[in-house]
Every structure is written in structure tokens, then in C-alpha cells.
Chains A and B, each alone.
Chain A
């Protein structure tokens, strides 16, 4: 490019101007600092939503993105959150910087929600709990801390399959990640034997990521007795459990039930790491309210860990956004609001469970030959239908039902208005 320009300009200009002009043009033409920037791979789920938006078919359904919708297909602001917002506004709080680790009332409340009000690990102050940018922020901070401060095997094992962003975050941190068996496509259920077999071979000291409840994307959760076996083998291999709990309350409708696995592990003596999100269970998606906890064994170690985590936060975003956290705090520390919230979250979970029943009944009712029990066995926002890519394509092309290629549907996108249509469509593509 520069050469061509130089030729043209030498023809036009006097000799002593040429070098200056070419110099500047050269600077401009080669001043593409950005030339080597590659186009990043597109986001799959966003792509589906975009395609859905462009579709003009009257019966189109979006079973792609994982955000809760009410029975009219609308986003739902929890009544408890509305109430909390009113209270907050009436207080006229200022916007002064939060502490780096978040407000203590917040971190205290969220830790209690996860581990139980009377949890010994909170009582003895051996937990280091910090506010984070929702679940993603907690995962990033936790894994980054591991790469910097965890002396043993820096390798993380993820369930197959897992949330798409889990391996992404690991890649960003150059943290090697491997897979352990989890979902059994034959049964559309939990592959306990496969998981135990794989886990028993994981190198000692490695980190193992576990979905606390409502596994994303499969909706398949281990039974309590399964969790006990998992705990045992994980302890034997001296692995470091990192729980991702993005759906506490959302799975069974009961926050204590949904925290069963986390609390079991703590009881069994594991010093877990925990990422919490309030995006779904409080509908606070865009406000980015979450938390990260390290169980450190004792107060002194927790303090040291805290001092290092704070430094990591400081160099990433200095201190966390308060709006969402203040709402969470208000709800969890106000008895009346908390009661309301527990009801709200149960309402959401119940609607999902009802939709699962209706969907399954609809497909079976049409006389479909395949087994569909997994639809009601699975739990939480997502369902791994077991549909193959060709069937998924047909669902979208012929019936305008949008879902991811792996056959995952967001049950939150199902309503009493469209459940029969969806059941019919699934029946048709699998007959």
C-alpha cells in the first residue's frame, strides 16, 4: 500500500515534499495497530436469540437463553425485589465506594444462605467471602486466585457437559482443564459410575468443579446418595471442590434443599470454594450480584486469603457495584422480605416443574414411542431433551422453536400458551 502511494505521489509532487508526505501516509496506512486482530468466534446463544428475533412466524418460541420468564413469556421482577427497591429508595443512601470485598452485612448474609445460618465454618470465621460480579465474577476471581496462590496441582476438572463459559474462563487464565463423565446420553440422566471412575483417576490436589444444583446445561443432578459417594472419592483423591451455585432455590424451590451438596461436603470436612449468583434466584441478572467463598480452615488463614483476594479485585475493578448487592442484603436480612422472597423463588421453581410435567405429558400423550421421563427427572431452568442436531434443526426450521444444537431447552421459555405446540413439535421431529 505504502509503495503504491509513494509512486503516485512522486509523480505529482516536488521531490523535497515527497518523503514527508509518504512518511505521513505511510504512518496512516500502517497505523493499523489493529490489523492482526482476529474476529472472535460468535456467541452461540446470542446467535439463537438474534435468529429468533428476526423470525416473523406467529408461533415462534425461544427456548434458548437462560433467563426466567413468567407464564406470559415476560421477564419477572420478583415482588420481594420490588419491595426491597422501595425500601432502599426511601433510605436515600449515598453512593460512596464499597469496601473492596463488599459490605460485611452482605457477605455475611450470603454466606449464611449458602452454608446455613448456624454453619460452623461461618461461626469460626474460617470463611473468606467476598462480593463478586455475579457468578462469572466469582468463578474468575476464584480460579485466578488458584493460579496465583494454590501450591498443588493447578488443573481443573469440569463435568461433561458444563456451562460454556467455564472452559472459557480457564482458557483466559491458562488454567488447564479436563473433563469427567457426568451426563449419560443413554439415560439422559447422571452417569454415576462414569463420574466415580473418572474422578478416582484425577491427579491428587486437582480442582474439581461441581454444579451445586440444577446443572447447566443438562438439568441432571446427582441424588443425595450419589453426592455422598462423590464426596467420598473426592476426599480420597484429595481434590479441591469448587462449587458453582447459580440456582439456589430455583431447583427444588427450597433454598436449604438446593444447598444440600455444598453443606454435605462441608460436613464431610471438605474445604470448598463456592461461587454464588443472585442473577436467577432473585432475578437480578443485570445488577451482577454474586459472591465467592473460600473455606480456609481457620480465621487467620481466611484473613490472609482475604488480603490477597482484595489485591486481585483492586486491579480488576477496584470495588464491586452496590445496587444489586444492597437489594440482596435487604431481602436476606429483613425477615418479612426474606419470607416473601422464599415464596417468590418457590413460585418460579414450581412453574418450571409444572411446565416440565405438561411438556412430558404432551409428548407422551401424542403416543410418542421414546422415553421422556428425563424431562421431569431433570431439574432447574434447563432440560437436555436428548434431541439430535438434525432433530433440533427441524424443530427450528419447520416449527420455529429455537434451542441450542445440543438439544438443550430453557424450560423458563415454556408457558401454558405454548407448551402444547412445543410438545407437538417435539413429537413430530422424533417420530
Chain B
């Protein structure tokens, strides 16, 4: 039967989800999923944080908790606690009423609402993203109305580190008011973060060129295991007097992936603008989904506002980040043991969920086809997908791949 939409073209599949599907359908016994960015325990299973289970049980038993609408800008307790966690409880910006939060749909939602606001109300049109960056960044901004996407150099395949000179050069040529997308910590997909000295230099250039910082913080706590340490860059920029926004996600650090819990933190130089900005963000949210989902926010708020629960949560993050670091060591150690060609130090130098292995597309395809090890063709692996049960197998496969298909470099 004829349809209005007959002419609609098939949209391209999203790589990471396609990969996940292929992995799920694969019947090979020793298959390994190093694709999608979600934490896995040492048995390769999803891990619901004990504190989350505890809170959900408590919330379920609470007869006074209903399913009423949250305010458009979200659960206030949640927003305040999120901003405090990001900027530090003693942040002068918070004390002066210059910082506030808007509950959003996880990190993606924060990026979208933030970008829409910057484009519609500040008329910002140009945005910069790192090469490479999370695959969804570009489209989120473009769909928010930004018409000038630009990239700044970041990953240097030769050194497997940051091309810092290139980074700075690209920032220096950015036009005034360009929005610069920065990964607060645990850069996705490379796992390489700027050093503190480098962050200072970045801030210098951004101040000079009047560029606007938009931080994406999807891994606070998850990178180093320390919440404050992982927020250093954002806090530094605030202390330098920058006005900025930061999309915070609780998907990974609370394991609340599917409840879409996030906060968009906004830091201004003057508290006088807060009411107006909130009123406009209200309309953006109203036109998109009216008000945010309640469940996940209640869980996070309950934990963040209770010292004992907060400490329990901190232990969970430490556990997750420690396991990740152990697997980095383990992989590098196995690769070295096998005499795998090349230098694999970057695996332990990188931080967070991901590692940009440096494997090229051909090598990646070989890993998928021959060994049923699923990773992105960029060479990105999710370290969480590794565990004592499979790390040797993975190392063996990588060794085989780089030997069979040496790099042209």
C-alpha cells in the first residue's frame, strides 16, 4: 500500500549499536564485546551498583513517593547536588548564586538542551569538537541549529598522545564566541586527557580568543576514581572566571544508563541572569518533552544528599575504576609477554572506559571476523569488556592482527 513516507531513505546504522547487535547474534563461544561503553564486572556482566539497588528498594517502599510531574527544570535537590558535586561544595560560584543546574536526559540531553540554548538565545553558530570525539557530538550540535562545525586536532596517531600544538593552533584560529566542546575527563574515544599544564594553556587561549567552553562530563569519578580530581578541569575554568556549561551524565558512574539521568550545569559571571536563562530553558524543555523522568533523579538525589550513602557510592566508583586500571595493566602485560610488535604503553597511560588502541581498520575487521572480538573500526575498545577470563585471548588476537597486517607507518 502506498505511503507518504515511501520516499524516506534508509538512515545509516549507528556503528556502536550495530556492533552490539552483531555481537548478540554471534554464537561463537569465546566472543568478546569491546564495543559499547558500559561497565562490565569481572564476569563480563552488567553491574547494578549496590547503592542503587538499596535506594530503589527504599524508594519503592516509600508510600509518600508518587509519580507526580517533576518541575520542568527537574528535581531541585538533584540539580543542586549535581552542581555541587561538579564544582565542589565550597565553590564560590555556587555561594554567589552564579551556578545552577537543569535536570536533563543524561549526557546527550544535556548536550542538546545546552546547544539549543546557546544557538537560539546567544546566537552561537560555530562549534569545535576534538578529532576524534564521541560520534554523537557533531549531530547533536548540528540538530540544535549550529551551522558551522569545526574540529580541533587532538589525537596524534604517531605518538598515541595529544597533538597539543595542533590543538592550540586550531583554538587560536577559532572565531570569537565559538563553542568549544571539551571532555572534562576520560576523553571518549581516546582515553587521553590533557595534563593540568595543558589545561591551563587551553584556558589561556580560550580567554584570549573569547571562546565559550562546553564541557561534556560523562565520567566524573570513573576516570581516576576520585570525584574531585576528575572535576579539576571544569573547576579550573570556573576559577579563571569563565562562564561555561557542562553536561553531566550519571549513566556510567551510577550505572543508571537506561534511566537517562543527567544535569546541565550553567556557570555565569552574574547571578542576575539566572532567572531569565532558566525561563528560556524552561521553554526549550517544554517543547521537547515537558519535564524530565523522575525515577533516576530520585535515586541519585537520595544518594548525593546523604553523607553515608555518598561515601558508599564513592566506594563503588573506586571499585569500578580500579578494575578498569587493572585490566589496562593486564592487557599491556599480556601484549608485552607475547612480544607483540609496537609499543603498548598508551593503554595504561590512557584513562577511563576506553582505549584508542591504535589498531587500524583492517586489523579491527580481522579481530571481529577471525576472533569474534567486537570493537569499533576506529580501534576504540571498552576496557570494561576485558576480564581475567578473556584478556589473554584478546592479547593473542591483537598480536596476531598486528603481525598479519603490519601498520604502514
Contact = CB atoms under 8 A, between A and B. Distances in A.
A323 B296 contact: yes
Contact of A97 (B3, B10, B257, B284): B257
Interface stretch (A146-154, A350-358, A418-426): A146-154
B11 A308 contact: yes
Interface in A77-136: 77, 81, 85-86, 89, 92, 94-100, 126, 133-134, 136
B287 A95 contact: no
B128 to A, nearest CB: 16
A95 B52 contact: yes
Given A95-B52, A304-B5, A318 B290 contact: no
A296 B280 contact: no
A304 B8 contact: yes
Interface stretch (A219-227, A282-290, A374-382): A282-290
Contact of B121 (A36, A77, A100): A36
A133 B112 contact: no
Interface stretch (A228-236, A309-317, A387-395): A309-317
A33 B277 CA distance: 11
Interface string B193-225: 000000000000001001010000000000000
Contacts of A149: 5, 8
Query: Which of the four size classes fits the interface of chain B?
Result: 35 or more
B288 A137 contact: yes
B107 to A, nearest CB: 8
B66 to A, nearest CB: 5
A295 to B, nearest CB: 8
A95 B108 contact: no
A52 to B, nearest CB: 15
Contacts of B241: 27-28, 31
A95 B57 contact: no
B268 to A, nearest CB: 6
A81 B68 CA distance: 13
B280 A321 contact: no
Interface string B287-304: 111111111100000000
Contacts of A96: 38, 46, 257-258
- Best-surrounded residue of B121, B260, B296 (most CB of chain A within 10 A): B260
Contacts of B286: 43, 136, 165, 168
Interface stretch (B86-94, B135-143, B157-165, B355-363): B135-143
A89 B273 CA distance: 43
Given A95-B52, A321-B259, A298 B1 contact: yes
A294 B4 CA distance: 10
A301 B8 contact: yes
B105 A317 contact: yes
A287 B67 contact: yes
Nearest to A290: B289
A31 B176 CA distance: 12
Given A285-B67, A322-B258, A307 B11 contact: yes
Given A96-B257, A133-B290, A133-B293, A35 B273 contact: yes
A322 B258 CA distance: 6
A165 B286 CA distance: 8
Interface string A260-297: 00000000000100000001000111111000001011
A134 to B, nearest CB: 7
Interface string B243-264: 1000000010001111110000
Nearest to A313: B108
Contacts of A316: 105, 108-109, 112, 143, 288
A32 interface: yes
A357 to B, nearest CB: 27
B276 interface: yes
B36 interface: yes
A271 B139 contact: no
A38 B212 CA distance: 20
Contact of B5 (A89, A283, A286, A296): A296
10 contacts: A31-B241, A36-B122, A89-B57, A149-B5, A172-B288, A240-B4, A271-B4, A310-B14, A316-B143, A317-B108
Given A92-B53, A314-B14, A315-B108, 14 more contacts: A34-B270, A37-B277, A43-B72, A95-B52, A97-B36, A140-B287, A168-B283, A171-B287, A271-B4, A288-B292, A298-B3, A315-B143, A316-B105, A321-B295
- The 6 A-B pairs of least Cβ separation, nearest first, read A297-B3, A133-B289, A40-B279, A286-B294, A317-B105, A172-B287
